[in-house]
Structure 1
Amino acid sequence: MIKSMTGFGRGESKDSERQFIVEVKSVNHRYNDIVVRMPKRFTYLEDQLKNLVKDYVKRGRVEVYVTLENIGDTDTKISVNTPVAEQYIDCLKKIRDEFNLIDDITVSLVSKFSDVIKIEPKEEDEDAIWSCLQDAASKALGLLVKMRAAEGLKLAEDISNRCVYIANIVDKIESRSPKVVLEYKQRLNDRIHELLDDNVEIDENRISMEVAVFADKCSITEEIVRLKSHVDQLKKTLEESNTVGRKLDFLIQEMNREINTIGSKSSDLEITNYVVDIKSELEKIREQVQNIE
């Protein structure tokens, strides 16, 4: 089953200390481009998170947004820097005694000086953090893949229907091609009779040679065979379960090459119109393929 490169997923997970919320969205991209936005204190987990995303997504631009809510004790540790506080107090006492000032040294005064109160991040269990984050991310990625698969199913159905339409037109071109040579021979005969007197003997071998040259120049048998083969490969590829976006893109290019050759070889208006129809359908398929993983 093919997958679209467009999708969204959201997952939550919490333990006794924290709750992670992970949102993942993806859009089409030629390669696998992963962007992670998370609190700076957890950037050491970014590579692990990217590797987790790669397990779920093989192609596309994926943006991961991680938010954190603390539900346990605060994640910071506040303490008194006693040596610094003592030095501040000693200095204040010295100023008091030196200038005979009223002693108004208070806790609120000392606490306002820099570095007296230390605020430090609390030591955390990295394994517990990753376990919680991984759980939330896995839930989000699971929903993302589910959405991509659902949209991929619709894309495959649309492309498959267009393949059937193209195959029908190719059959019409194939049945029309021999008639083009016969019509050319008839026009050539009519033109000769129109220009020459009926008493003039016409060299049938020369006419046959001219028709043979024309038939060889406008022969599109090889192109039709290859075009049919590409259509069959395209339909089979839609049923594959692995990443097929680049393969489909290649097949569309080859189909365009063959139909352009048919268009350049044929001078028949009916075949030219068929060529235009197929090119129009191929362009629509190409646009769809650009969003397939």
Structure 2
Amino acid sequence: MDLNWRDRHTVQASGPIEKGDAIKFAALPEFQTLELDSPGGLVGEALAIAANMDARGAIRTVVRAGASCASACAMALFVSGKTRVVYMGGRVGIHSCAQPNGIPAPECNKAMAANATAHGVPWGVIEGFGKYTKPSSMMWLRAEDAECWGLMRWNAQDLSSTGIDCYKWASRIPPVEITIANAATVDYVDCRANAGSSRTYMSTGSDEQGFSQAFRSACERVAADPATPKYAAVDIIMWLALTDPRVSSLKPGTLMVNILDRDETQIGNCWKCLTIIAMSELMNGYPKQALEDFRKAANVARRDTGSVPAWLSSRADMAAAEAAKQNR
């Protein structure tokens, strides 16, 4: 694994994890952030590096746009960060361990899971996903999924990394119906489960689901709450921008940009962010700019998911029609 300095606080680690890398890593001077872009490699070396990260304390692990951190990189190094973020456009990959001859190594999976849980990652994400993903395969998690399953931790105070959001969705646990009576206690898991365009949406069959005034008032509060995980907040804001006729008072575009710390690379690699911007532009009478950003959103969605939601295409058509009127 190549270890290079981006700046005096940041080390970039790229390439396969090989024999001797733990010694190279331990020799590094003090730093704060470890940027990862690696297919994985030797588990023993990776766990030794993880132990050194613990000894240093407060290392932030990052997977940036265009980077991939897979196998031992994800299951040992990334999860060992005191804080850890997969940026939009990045991804982490999980699978089960194997011996050099290709035979599965369950004890290795357990060691990886033990290290991950010691750093606050849900046990099932490493042990469960690893157990059911063959060594020859890879379960890729992009930024939003990495947050949803509890792999990420935005800051030291962030206690959202439980994976409960995606766990409830995967277990098909029905969402809480958001009413005036419970609006004050609703959290981001409830808001996402009721938002039709959300990653973790589950239909209740009610026409009011995600459209009621109780939902809107509760989830506007949740979206603006700094304690809400950043990508979850973006998910909620997009639904509100698509469905709430009074959402302009929330200033959805500005709120989203501030949540992502005005990071243009993050926003440019986030199709939901680009959709929020486009909806804001359309609502404020700028259909030409909206059309451009809807098209950008569609391209990123196609890159990340393999398809473009029909409703996104229809919004782009709406912007095109409005832009054509302005040209007359």
TM-score w.r.t. length of structure 2: 0.21
Q: Looking at CA atoms only, which structure, 1 or 2, has the larger radius of gyration? A: 1
Higher relative contact order, chain-length normalized (CA < 8 Å, sep 6+): 1
